[in-house]
A and B are shown apart, each in its own frame.
Chain A
C-alpha cells in the first residue's frame, strides 16, 4: 500500500524549546493509526504541524502528503489538499448553527449540489445533530460538539482525517459512540490518524500505533502487539 502521509526526521521548536525531537512516522492509504502518549509529549504539535496550524518557522524536517512536501503550507492550503482536522477541544463555531458549521467544512468545495447530500449523510450518521440543526454550535453538549467537529471534517470529503483527542471530556457511552463512528468512517475509505490519551480505546480501535514520550517516538507496532507489550500495559493501560 502507498504511504499517504509521511513524517521524516520531523522536529518542532517553540522558540528555544525543542518540543518534537526528530520523529519518523507514516500512515498508509486506508489505514487507521493512533498516536498515544502522556500530556505534553508533543502529539498535538505533531498533528497541527501536519495540518498547517502551527507556526511554520518552528518546523524542521519534512512532512510528505501523497509524496509532496507540505511542511511550508499554511493551514488553508493544507485543507485544500484533502486533509481535515477535528481539533482538540472541538472548536465549533459557537455562534453559527449546526447547519452553518457543517457548511463551513465544505468551504473549499466547488461541487455545491453534492454538499446538501453530504450534510444529510452526516445527519444520518449522527441523528442527534439533525434534531439540533438550527441550534447554535455553542449550545450543544460536548458529545454533540464532537460529532459536529467530525461531521464538519467529513464535509470536506477528506483523504486524510486527523482527530485530536476525540474522547476528551466525554462520558464513556458517548466515547464509545464516537469511536464506532470513527471506525465506520475509516471502513468507508477515509484514512484516519488520531491522537488519544485514552490509550485503551485508541489501541482497540486503530490498526497501528505510535507511542510518544517527551517529543520522541519510543515504540511503534500494530495495536494488537502494543496492547500485549508489558511496558505499554504498565505505563498506558494501567494493567
Chain B
C-alpha cells in the first residue's frame, strides 16, 4: 500500500511540480501571477489530442508540436497582453485581472471547438500497464513521472549552465543591470512566459491519458500547481518542483489512508497554513518583500 501510494503521489506530484514551475518562472520574470497559467494545461491537452488522436501523428512529434504551439501562445500572451498593458503603466492588479479574462477566453474557445464532454486521450503505449518492483500502474503514468523529472532537470541545466538561461535569470534578478549588459530584457521576459506555457502544456498532455481531456482540466489542476509553488517558496524554481511533489504526495496519502473526499481540502489547508506560518516557503523565497 505505502509503495503504491508513494509512486502515485510522485506521479501526480511531478505534474504539479511542472505546473508550479510555470507560476514561479512568471513571478520571477514579471512579478505577476497569471490566472491563465492553468489554461495552458488545458490548451496542451487539447493540442496533444489534436496532433496525436485527430491528426494521428506519432506521440513524440505530437509532444514537440504541442510544446512549440504553447510556446508561441506564451510569447503572444506576454507581448500582446501583458507587455502592452505594462507599457500603458497599468497597475499590476489590472494585469492580473486581464489574465482571468484570458483564462475564460481559452476555456470558452476550447468548449466551442471541442464541446463539453470529456474526451478520451487514446492509449499511447501498446502495453496498458507496467509493473515495476511490485507496483502496477498505467504505463502512461510511469512515463509521466519520467518526463516530468526529465523536464525539470533539463530546465535546471538550461537556466544554470547555458549563457542564455543565465541571462534570463539575470534579467529577472535585475532588469536594469541586465539591459546594460546587452541582454534584451523584453525578449527574455517573453521567452520566460513562453517556457511557462510550454511546460504547462506538456503537463496537460501527460494528464490527458490519466484524467481525460475537458475544458476546466487546467483550472482545477492549475490551482494545485499554484499551491505547490507557494509551499515551495513562490518564485523559486526548485521550490516549485519540490512543493508540487510534496502536494502530490500529501494528497495521495490522505486519499489512500484516510478519505478521498477531503484530499483537496487538505491540499488547500496546507497552502493557507504555509501562508501563515512560513510565507517564504520551503526554499525561503522572500516573494513578498521582493522588488
Q: Which residues of A come within 8 Å of B, CB atoms?
A: 51-53, 74-76, 79-80, 84-85, 87, 91-96, 100, 103-105, 107-108, 152, 156
Contact = CB atoms under 8 A, between A and B. Distances in A.
B173 A87 contact: no
Interface stretch (B5-13, B177-185, B191-199): B177-185
A107 B183 contact: yes
B184 A96 contact: no
Contact of A52 (B169, B174, B179, B183): B179
Interface residues of B, number: 18
A104 B177 CA distance: 10
Contacts of B167: 104, 107
B58 to A, nearest CB: 37
A156 B182 contact: yes
A158 to B, nearest CB: 11
Name the 8 nearest CB pairs between A and B, nearest first: A79-B182, A75-B179, A91-B177, A108-B182, A76-B184, A85-B180, A107-B182, A104-B181
Contact of B183 (A91, A92, A96, A104): A104
Nearest to A95: B173
B163 interface: yes
Contacts of B116: none
Contacts of A152: 181
Interface of B: 163, 166-167, 169-170, 173-174, 176-186
Contact of A79 (B169, B173, B174, B180): B180
Given A80-B182, A95-B169, A107 B177 contact: no
A152 B176 CA distance: 14
Contacts of A100: 166
A83 B289 CA distance: 33
Given A76-B185, A107-B163, A107-B167, A96 B173 contact: yes
Contacts, number: 67
B191 to A, nearest CB: 14
B163 A103 contact: yes
B176 A107 contact: no
Contact of B177 (A80, A93, A103): A93
Given A87-B176, A91-B174, A91-B176, A105 B181 contact: yes
A79 B176 contact: no
A163 B177 CA distance: 13
B8 to A, nearest CB: 35
B182 A93 contact: no
Contacts of A104: 166-167, 170, 178, 181, 183
A156 B181 CA distance: 8
A103 B185 CA distance: 17
Q: Please report whether the interface of chain B is mostly helix, strand, loop or mixed according to DSSP.
A: helix
Given A93-B174, A103-B166, 15 more contacts: A52-B179, A79-B180, A79-B181, A80-B182, A84-B180, A87-B177, A91-B174, A93-B170, A93-B177, A100-B166, A104-B170, A104-B181, A104-B183, A107-B182, A156-B181
Nearest to A153: B180
B35 to A, nearest CB: 28
Contacts of A156: 181-182
A52 B181 CA distance: 11
Nearest to A84: B180
A152 B185 CA distance: 18
A94 B169 CA distance: 11
Contacts of A108: 181-182
A75 B181 CA distance: 8
A107 B179 contact: no
Given A95-B173, A96-B169, A96-B173, A76 B179 contact: yes
Most chain A CB within a 10 A radius of its CB, from B177, B178, B180 = B180
Contacts of A76: 179, 182-185
16 contacts: A74-B179, A76-B182, A80-B182, A84-B180, A91-B176, A91-B177, A93-B177, A95-B169, A104-B167, A104-B170, A104-B183, A107-B163, A107-B182, A107-B183, A156-B181, A156-B182
Contacts of A52: 179
A116 B180 CA distance: 21
B179 A96 contact: no
A53 B182 contact: no
Contacts of A85: 180
Contacts of A96: 166, 169-170, 173
Contacts of B183: 76, 104, 107
Nearest to B187: A76
Contacts of A95: 169, 173
A105 B169 CA distance: 14
B181 A107 contact: yes
B103 to A, nearest CB: 31
